[in-house]
Structure 1
Amino acid sequence: MPFYTPPVTTRQCVQFPAFKPPALDGSVTLVEAYDWHLEHSPEHVYYKYEDIDGSIGTIKWKEAVLAAYRAAHIVRGHADNNAKFAILAVSDSITFGATLMGCMRAGFPPFLVSPRNSPEVIAGLLDKAEITHVFYSPDVATTKHAKAGTAHRPIQLIPLPTLDQLYSSDDVTAPPPVKPGFYDNALIIHSSGSTSVPKLLPVSHSTLFLMGASAWWNEIDLGSMTMNFAPTPMYHLMGSAHLAIATYSGVQIAVFPPTIPPVQPTAENFLHSIVATKSNITMIMPSILESLSHVPADVQKLARMDLVLYGGAALKPSAGDRLVEGGVKLMPGLGMSEAGVLCALITRPLGRDWQWIRQAPYNKLHYRDLEDGTYELISHDGHYVDTPNCEYEGKRALATKDVVVRHPTDPGLFKIVGRLDDQLVLSTGEKTNAIPLEAILTSDSLIERAVVFGRGRPHNGVIIQPRGEQAFDPNDLVRLAEFRDAIWPTVVKMNEFAPSHSRIAKEMIIVTSPSKPLPVNPTKNTVIRALATAAYEQEILDAYDTFSLAEGGEFQPPATWELTDTVAFIRKVVRTVVPDLPSDNDDLFNYGCDSLKAARIHNNIVGALRATNCLSDGFPGESPYKFPTIKSLAAFVSTSGLSGHAHVDLKALKIAEVEAMLAKYSSSFPTHAPSPATATESAQLVFLVTGTTGGLGTNLLAQLLGQPEVKRVYALNRRGPPGTSLLDRHKVAFIDRGVDPALLDLDKFVLLEGDTAQSELGIHPAVYEEMRTAVTHIIHNAWPVNFNYAVQTFEGAVRGSKNLVDFALKSTRTEPPRFTFISSVGVSRNAGSEVDLAPEEPILDLNLVVGQGYPESKWVVERMLQIAAERTPLKSVSIRVGQLAGGHSGCWNASDWLPVIVRSAAKLSCLPDASAPISWIRLDEAAASVIEMRDASGVLHLVHPRPVPWRTAFDTFSRTLGNVPIVPFSDWMGRLIAYAEANPEGGREVPAMRLLEYYKGIGPTGFDGMARVENISTVKAQVVSPTLRNMAPMSEVDAEKWIAYWKRAGVL
């Protein structure tokens, strides 16, 4: 069936007119194309190889097709209508390829089984595929595996046809013609088992067609070249792909000679093959390239080739850099049996940017935002996905589990940084990409293999297998300490590369036992992560226990736990761990403290308290978070040490801390001094908006850009993760939220990369001066969200707000810019009651606010703005925003507290109930309301004025998820806690586990307790905002849109 393909960009096989390509519209499958070439390209060379005598042997298309016919007759001679064939063979590519094509030509899609699997795995795979016949090679190992793998069920074993049988001079007739469907299975392979037990992976004729025809849509006349596949095994799709590439492009395939036993690939004989066959291009496994990269003479030979493609596994960066520096034209390939080739397979290499991949022109890729600067690659198109596992934007799609970063300037490029299987989400919500860390560790000559672990834990650890003769019994504590010391410089190097939360302490290094090596995938030679962590489960538990119970012997306990002695002790501990901390009043987390360092501080405090017999109950592990300065932590520890209990008047401490922060940032303000030159200033609106990549910020920016009366919008954002440009982040955010990205091309849009916490907002002085004369309105939306942190950790955000206030008062305009601050309803959560609505007024009593650092920090800015309004001409409004839901497009951040409940429903088999009404507000309507409130003053509330029952949303969730039961909150929490205890690494399937502490903090009344947060007045806000005043209530339609979005995003 013909279907859309891109326009041809490069004709193939121009130099070889003997090759006549079949139709490139999908109407001719691979097996039918063999018949085509017998008639139209019989004399074109298919295979090249260096024979034993040093001569170059060739096989032409006529010979190859007739060999496939002979194989088809052999298959048909053994088959009935219910037969299913597998090939389990160590064989040369020519013989294996003819047998494979013979199965297809006879009408039986073959199952290609790796002989490197164990007999048990082979037996399981043959059972799953319901195989009745197995072609096997005659070598001893494969014969043994074949017999063992088929012993438990009646499977006919057939010796693999020999080269002489297949390439006989005897006449052969064509088997009866076959006409497979374009999306029918052509063959079956199996996964590598890198992360679990291998599974069956069908490969359709459409996938093989796209793999073969892709050269026509790229930049090189591949068909006029020789492509070397010599070392690539045929049971791997990367090896058998040469059948399709040769069929549709005409490229000549270089292989090892067809001998028995077959040539075993090495770096040396591969290099010899490419020279002898004059190969221009190769597709190779990274392990061979890594070996060659160390020998300059070998690198020179590779550099003579037009292109060196690698795939199947990651190439070590150091090896790739050596090859590129030596002139090798290196490029990664990316393909999946489920979706074919995902990259532009043949394109001009990128030199030093060799790790970047350009997406294929025919396969529409999407990038699911993982909210940490990385994305999951989604292959999305009805034509090209064989085995979809999700729905994305209403179409079947494949969530690849590949984690990528986007190129900072070229949106068509991406780079793989890991797999979701390899991405470890810590209990803090922070993520660790294990692969690059393990690559650094295994560069050490003492380390054979490494597996980083830590999913669901506060920090990471690593299992290390010593190399060869370095192996020892890890129960020998002296040897263990010596080995840890020997590899520690490499661990330090890794920690310098890693994000702070991913760093590994020496105590968290587990060394393997010689009797229990790490389980390895035989095809890819990579560690099977899930099996490795399961094998060392007890050792991992022991490591965490040892770390958490560390006696903290690094520091001598204080003479007493009086405050003066305690401050000195805490100062010594903290400054050893966080050496850049300027003073006792500065926040640890603003100067490099992370979860691992916080754990070390906690452990040393606990050790000292125990050593002085001054702790009779548990000391909270979150204490460094709740008291993140030396002064506050010392006060807490002093009280604990003197009383023997970890209790202290937290509210009094918090009030003092919040008041101190307010005093620090409201003590003085600049004097507003307008310039006479602005007396005739323009009436057009110019906005400065912070934080424009999130849900509310994206909608604010889009709506302002769309308003004719707005002359300019300055969008100020912090620098993002490496590898992603700020503009690309905006484009992705706009597309994801259903907003037209073309708005970002308007001249009125000015994108700024800076930091409000720095002087002059961290932007160029000339731009700062320009904005002083131009900006009429400021909307301060950017704010870090972390409900675990104390108010001190938000000081950078408070300081940024003060810098924006100072910027406004330094304006040269007649009046300072109007200041809109996006606050939170959390500030007023205790200001109302079940009877009385919380008023739209300033809150002066801090007792109504303290509890969490997030709303406390928002309150500080609210009060600072109120004080500024009393002392200066600055006019401001603080908008306390409630829960923001998906807008009319349905886009609702899948990591938010409510979406993760819905995403967890399938595994928990329930949803939580509540009697609380919901006053959530749609994102786009929230943005419109904020813009309408820009000239107001004081405090306004932004929640839905027409709440609806909880069940309005949750009955819809239940129905669309297959009538999942809705149960009381306590029952739901019980199931969540039980699942988390039984599945500590199950956060991907039950993402609500990641917010377990948040849900616990809601209290025994569950989501009913949240009603008071929403029980606030909107009378003043409705007067100012027509959008809020006329807002339609939430309905089942909204809930259906959210569900549809989460399905499109591949998370439901």
Structure 2
Amino acid sequence: MPLFHNYGICSFFRAIHCRKSIHFYNAELPLTHDNLLKIFQANDFEIFYGVPYTLKLLSESQTGIDLLQELKLVMYGGSACPDDLGNILVENGVNLIGHYGATEVGQLMTSFRPKGDKAWNYVREHDALSPYLRWEPRGSDLYECVILEGWPSKVQSSRPDGAYATKDLFEPHPSIPRAWKYIARLDDTIVLVNGEKFNPVEMEGRIRSDKNVTEAVVFGAGRAHLGILLVPAAGLATHTNEEILDIIWPVVEFANKSADAFARISRDMIRLLPHDCAYPRTDKGSIIRQAFYQKFKAEIEETYDLAESSSEELVQFDLPELQQFTRDLVQRTLEAPTPVQDDEDFFSLGLDSLQAIQMRSEILKKVDIGENKLGQQIVFEQPSISKLSSFLLSLRIGSDANEKMSIEQQMENLVMRYSTETLSISTSSSIALPAHLELILSQNWLLDLMLIKSIV
């Protein structure tokens, strides 16, 4: 860490205070696994201070892990250490300690803890700090760390009352008082076009902790679904992109398991960057998110375009062929053990948002729908084999393949299907629905259901 950062300064003065020599990594020397091993093996260290990236490099071999295990203390700072990486180190006997602070407020908390306490990723308040801490709610079980006026090492304020809002989000430990886990920066959150919010830091950390990945950055603000930019490790330089995807895809799949369905990333939304590409990052080695998005804006746009385009000739299916295509697609996507019936509701079968996106992408690549556009929520709006195949045919031939039900009939059917209460709606032509209500009801059955339930 450079000495002009809080973490670097703290580490330097710890050594002075303890009257110990301190060694700084040569900034002109490439930061690699082999170079780190040579330095460790040539010196008799007691304590190691570093950013999580150095821990990742050392953990790529058992020799590196063993060298860390021999130390009295391994402290990281500058950015969050991925849970998977930290757990591996702790399980191998490494005394791993987190450090949290900021240049504007100095060192605040560490994860020094009693013997037997395995919560290495939860920093702890101490009595001197607690009176100057304010935890402000920022969503479900997330709190922003705010440092109040009077804390001795605070040199900057961002609030009228003299407090400094760090923009760092933490989660409290479920059972240990005053223990907090760093989650992400407040400005890391990605908001999708439908309003869903996702903080990508944990997912990125899981993927980045793999030895085959140098960097991982999730994108998708204002879009219907997320994608990810990946910088492969230099060791994959001789592989083709398809080979690299085959190697890295299981890592992404594993990260997807801990994410909500709307935040999962499909294979065709992975964009590989050159292993030696330059990208914006801080002195701590962490990415500068908005600058990263700006630098690779063209690649992001192209990723979305490619996901919705076909390299093959589109097929003009008739209705039976469309039904078979849709049937096969649903069966394959759901990995259903038994045949899916044509009128079965996709979502009663467990179809999630990511799978719906994958189905839409496959349709765009194979099915000729004329000059029409396919809505982002098409699988939600036509949630059965019969409905979806008929709708796709109607797009190409320019008319409804099935007779369209009246709005009132759709409402009655939805009430019968989804509500335990009875709602009687007259089909008399004397009852007119407002134009905006008719538009909503005619386009999205999920919104239909929400509206009807609110009426009931």
TM category (shorter chain) comes to 0.7 to 0.9
For residue 298 of structure 1, what is the aligned residue in structure 2? 67
Report what 2:425 is aligned to.
844
Q: 1:528 to 1:267 in 2, by over 3 A?
A: farther
Pairing 1:398-547 to 2, within 5 Å after superposition: 398-410=164-176, 412-471=178-237, 479-513=240-274, 517-519=277-279, 521=281, 523-547=283-307
Q: Which of 637, 640, 644 is 2:392 aligned to? A: 637
- Following superposition, the deviation at residue 446 of structure 1 comes to 3.6
Question: C-alpha distance in 2, partners of 1:508/1:498?
Answer: 16
Q: Does residue 570 of the first structure (1) align with residue 326 of the second (2)?
A: yes
Q: Are residues 1:859 and 2:452 paired?
A: yes
Give SS of 1:338's match. coil
Does structure 1 conserve the Cα–Cα contact (< 8 Å) formed by 2:134 and 2:145?
yes
Rounded to whole Å, the distance in 2 between the matches of 1:633 and 1:269 is: 62
> Does the 8 A contact of 2:49 with 2:76 survive in 1?
yes
Identity among equivalent positions (%) equals 24
Q: Highest Rg: 1 or 2?
A: 1
Whole-angstrom distance in 2 between the partners of 1:447 and 1:288: 14
Partner residue of 2:96? 330
- Cα-to-partner distance string for 1:294-316 (whole Å, 9 max, x where unaligned): 335424422xx3x5432122334
- Aligned position for 1:241: 10
Q: Is the alpha carbon distance of 1:859 and 1:318 closer, same or farther for their aligned partners in structure 2, counting shifts above 3 Å?
A: closer
Aligned length: 428
Q: Cα–Cα, structure 1 residues 313 and 609, in superposed 2: closer, same or farther, change >3 Å? A: closer
CA contact (8 A) 1:333 1:345 kept: yes
Instruction: Give 1:615's aligned amino acid.
Output: G
Name the CA shift for 1:550/1:358 in 2 (closer, same or farther; >3 Å).
farther
Q: Structure 2 CA distance, aligned partners of 1:586 and 1:308? A: 55
1:484–1:288 CA distance, 2 compared to 1 (3 A): closer
Residues 400, 649 of structure 1: alpha-carbon distance in 2 compared, 3 angstrom cutoff: farther
1:256: how far off?
3.0
Contact map agreement 2:76 2:99 (CA 8 A) in 1 = yes
Distance in 1 of aligned mates of 2:147 and 2:202: 27
Instruction: Report deviation, 1:556.
Output: 6.7
8 Å CA contact 1:242–1:253 kept in 2: the answer is: no
Residues 455, 418 of structure 1: alpha-carbon distance in 2 compared, 3 angstrom cutoff: same
Tell me if 1:364 matches 2:124.
no
User: Contact 2:171/2:181 (CA < 8 Å) preserved in 1?
Assistant: yes
AA at the equivalent of 1:521: R
| Alpha-carbon distance, 1:544 to partner | 0.9
SS of equivalent to 2:198: strand
Structure 2 distance, partners of 1:460, 1:261, is 35
Contact 1:344 1:358 (8 Å CA) reproduced: yes
Amino acid at match of 1:859: I
- Pairwise CA distance, 1:511: 2.3
Instruction: Please list, as runs of the form range in 1=range in 2, the aligned pairs for 1:347-386 lying within 5 A after superposition.
Output: 347-348=113-114, 351-361=117-127, 362=129, 363-370=132-139, 373=140, 375-384=142-151, 385-386=154-155
Deviation at 1:618, TM superposition (A): 2.7
Q: 1:624 aligns with which of 375, 379, 392?
A: 379
In structure 2, relative to structure 1, the CA distance for the partners of 1:604 and 1:365 (3 Å cut) is same
SS at match of 1:322: helix
CA separation in 1, counterparts of 2:373 and 2:27? 67
1:376 Cα offset (Å): 4.6
**In the alignment, structure 1 residue 597 sits paired with structure 2 residue 355:** yes
- CA 1:604–1:290 in 2, change beyond 3 Å: closer, same or farther? closer
Deviation of the 1:379 alpha carbon: 0.9
- Which residue is equivalent to 1:747? none
Q: Give the SS at the match of 1:458.
A: coil
Using the alignment, how far apart are the partners of 1:471 and 1:438 within structure 2?
21
Q: CA RMSD in A?
A: 4.1
| SS of residue paired to 1:488 | helix
Code of the aligned partner of 1:241: C
2:372/2:395 contact within 8 Å kept: no
SS in 1 for 2:257: helix
Q: CA deviation at 1:377?
A: 1.7
Distance across 1 between alignment mates of 2:163 and 2:402:
54
**CA displacement, residues 377-417 of structure 1 (integer Å, 9 cap, x when unaligned):** 231422235433346xxx44433332333323345222223
Q: CA deviation at 1:335?
A: 0.5
Alignment of 1:55-454 (within 5 A): 233-241=2-10, 251-256=17-22, 266=36, 269=39, 283-293=49-59, 294-295=62-63, 297-302=66-71, 305=72, 307-343=73-109, 346-348=112-114, 351-361=117-127, 362=129, 363-370=132-139, 373=140, 375-384=142-151, 385-390=154-159, 395-410=161-176, 412-454=178-220
Gaps of 5+ in 2: none
The alpha-carbon distance between structure 1 residues 579 and 626, as it changes in their structure 2 partners (threshold 3 A), is same
In the aligned structure 2, how far is the partner of 1:349 from the partner of 1:322?
Answer: 18
Separation of aligned partners in 2, 1:389 and 1:486: 45
Q: What are the superposed Cα offsets for residues 975-1024 of structure 1, whole Å, 9 maximum, x if unpaired?
A: xxxxxxxxxxxxxxxxxxxxxxxxxxxxxxxxxxxxxxxxxxxxxxxxxx
SS at match of 1:333: strand
Please state how far the C-alpha of 1:334 moved relative to its aligned partner: 0.8
Q: What is the deviation of 1:655?
A: 3.9
